[in-house]
Structure 1
């Protein structure tokens, strides 16, 4: 028996070695360390004071062959418990195989359909990480089955998704939140058993002296962008468990009867209101993206028509960018972007601060040996006059390291503006990344 076990182990080792030789594992990644500095103390209970706050992050990418296919994975993580930004994100973990004129993807994946510079609005396939900064959200991987058919008239993509949806909202210490934190311990769905499907068509056409990229999409299923509903969390209140449960039930019943979120909460009474809880609607959405490129100029459009909770509304981004090359005799490229962002959703939908906004962006790539980069973006609300500023700059040090600087600043003087709840959370962030 001992000889048999030894032979089995030896045979397994040889088989593993042979498999590894024929299916090499390719790995690459990044390790980040840094400090984020907040200029002001947190406005709400549980938030950290002003000062430096350390963080550690990573990204791991890899792939290896399996038969005629391939396994691809990409994991990202961040550790910053002091500000409730910690997250482990399975962005990709799928098996893919290509056939004569189509391919198949099975597993976790991120599908980014957006084409705009400031932000994207057509992405419905993935939940988002809402804890990092105002004006930018990372996509979280979603389990899906995806088949892509490649033809002479374009690419047809078909998706079936898991309806298990969880965005990342952080907790009490999260700086990017309003006076009531989001508690994802009480997650509710309009329909947790409905199938989620999406179709998308993409193609590139020659048009005049340029080219037109078009993407048309249709989605039916659970909205990955949750509506934040007033809720009662028993640990935060002195009311009884039955009163807490009754408040949650009354708010949900009021909303599902056709009331706005605010009206449903007011009618339920606010004594037990201690947090907001995620509620995931069922939606139907038609999306369209277009990019017309001619020379150094690109004109962009991104829009959707969505039906959710008995209301139909539209969102759109229209704008473009122009690039200037070889500035002042150098190799650098400067790109200037201008966009208008519009959304006409009502009070039964998740809140947006981008309903009537301009975006101006400046992006500079030095194209030098150190891959120096600079990016500045500004959102300006035409109604409330509030602004969101984002800045990033980075430069490579040798072949293995990159130093980066990021900053985020919000200006809002109106109490009716949702952005006023995160005013006072301005920061700058220094990071050092090591690549392998």
Structure 2
């Protein structure tokens, strides 16, 4: 990482007209698990600290930019959660109708709240957050073309990032240790992945269509016996093709959302979708508060996959917007399996600013399952809340 920062400084310094800005965030986080652990060597309380600085530079009148965003977290107990990553290290060049991005970047696709099916460019940083929102930086070359018919994007990704998993002392993990990754491709992590995407605004609709070919970001977990006769789980990364569609319809205070994919190449070829709505009401009972009512249906054809958590589920949520100067917001959600009454999960997300530099976040996640084949069964004792205090500079 030190070498990367030196190269970055030399690159920017070579242009005397470059503007450089340095910002970032540093924070402390405390996790507390509400029940005793299922497995040995696990704790109930985990403290950690993280740092994510950002360097931004632009030159040539803003037509060229450089973003560098490293990340590092140190965790009290989980050695696998103590980790670093280059979230972004990307040069971009902008022209009238096109742009090019080269380096390590982050790309988000999607519209729904409870699951992001079409979002496939970046690998999930599982040790960071159980909701799958945290992503690893992805090496890529990206070309975007803007026209009256929408934006057309091409991605070439020469290097694959393995999904992170909790260590032996971490919570939110299966009962068996995670071993070395297996690949279908002979090139392993150096297989060239490619993707194309078209997105456009058509009247009140936001429409996206994507195609991906390459190494799956969502491995299948294979249980084997290690050399010493102990069982272990090996993540297997197959070569897949995935087609995705995402839609957003805006109609007054209503948002109608859909994400749908079809994926082939793994043990099961399957279709999956998430669809629902969000209705927002401002000035509730004459106050400054706003409420957003959410509902989404989740469907996944897979029957035997650890990551297929939304096979036939319904999510209901409530978003609370205080509309104060501190930008206080809260989101409450509950997901019910429609086939197994005892399988459900819930979440709470809240955040607010204390000053112009300080903010806090509070998250809570709750799991229940009586079905040993359900992913939540291994998390049934991992209900937890986490509080973080963050300073932005």
TM-score, normalised relative to structure 2: 0.90
Q: What's the CA shift for 1:295?
A: 0.7
Partner of 1:145: 141
2:215 corresponds to 1:230: no
Partner of 1:284: 241
Partner of 1:205: 202
SS in 2 for 1:128: coil
Q: Which moved more, 1:20-29 or 1:289-298?
A: 20-29
The structure having more radius of gyration, on CA atoms, is 1
Which structure carries more helix by proportion? 1
2:275 corresponds to 1:301: no
Compared with structure 1, are the counterparts of its residues 74 and 16 closer, same or farther at alpha carbon in structure 2 (3 Å cutoff)?
closer
Pick from 353, 360, 364 the counterpart of residue 320 of structure 2. Answer: 364
Q: What's the CA shift for 1:278?
A: 1.4
SS in 2 for 1:181: coil
Question: What is the CA–CA distance in structure 2 between the aligned matches of 1:192 and 1:94, rounded to whole Å?
Answer: 28
8 Å contact kept, 1:117–1:361 = no
Q: What's the CA shift for 1:21?
A: 5.9
| Map 1:174-213 → 2, pairs under 5 A | 174-183=170-179, 186-193=180-187, 194-206=191-203, 211-213=204-206
Q: What's the CA shift for 1:39?
A: 1.9
Pick from 250, 269, 278 the counterpart of residue 312 of structure 1. Answer: 269
| Map 1:310-389 → 2, pairs under 5 A | 311-347=268-304, 351-385=307-341, 386-389=343-346
SS in 2 for 1:420: helix
Question: What is the CA–CA distance in structure 2 between the aligned matches of 1:146 and 1:288, rounded to whole Å?
Answer: 20
Q: Which runs of 5+ in 1 are unaligned?
A: 1-14, 238-271
Q: For this pair of structures, how many residues does the alignment match?
A: 377
Question: What is the CA–CA distance in structure 2 between the aligned matches of 1:340 and 1:273, rounded to whole Å?
Answer: 40
Partner of 1:116: 112
Partner of 2:19: 24
Residue by residue over 1:193-244, the C-alpha shift from the partner in whole angstroms, topping out at 9 and shown as x without a partner, is 34211010000111xxxx000000001111111111113444xx3xxxxxxx
Q: What RMSD over aligned residues (CA atoms) do the two structures have, in Å? A: 2.1
8 Å contact kept, 1:361–1:375 = yes
| Map 1:398-413 → 2, pairs under 5 A | 398-413=355-370
SS in 2 for 1:421: helix
Compared with structure 1, are the counterparts of its residues 307 and 325 closer, same or farther at alpha carbon in structure 2 (3 Å cutoff)?
same
2:40 corresponds to 1:45: yes
Residue by residue over 1:271-304, the C-alpha shift from the partner in whole angstroms, topping out at 9 and shown as x without a partner, is x352211111100011000000011101001010
8 Å contact kept, 1:133–1:176 = no
Q: What's the CA shift for 1:151?
A: 0.5
Compared with structure 1, are the counterparts of its residues 17 and 351 closer, same or farther at alpha carbon in structure 2 (3 Å cutoff)?
closer
8 Å contact kept, 1:142–1:162 = no
Pick from 158, 161, 175 the counterpart of residue 162 of structure 1. Answer: 158
Pick from 390, 395, 420 the counterpart of residue 377 of structure 2. Answer: 420
Question: What is the CA–CA distance in structure 2 between the aligned matches of 1:139 and 1:131, rounded to whole Å?
Answer: 10
Question: What is the CA–CA distance in structure 1 between the aligned matches of 2:69 and 2:157, rounded to whole Å?
Answer: 19
Q: What's the CA shift for 1:360?
A: 1.2
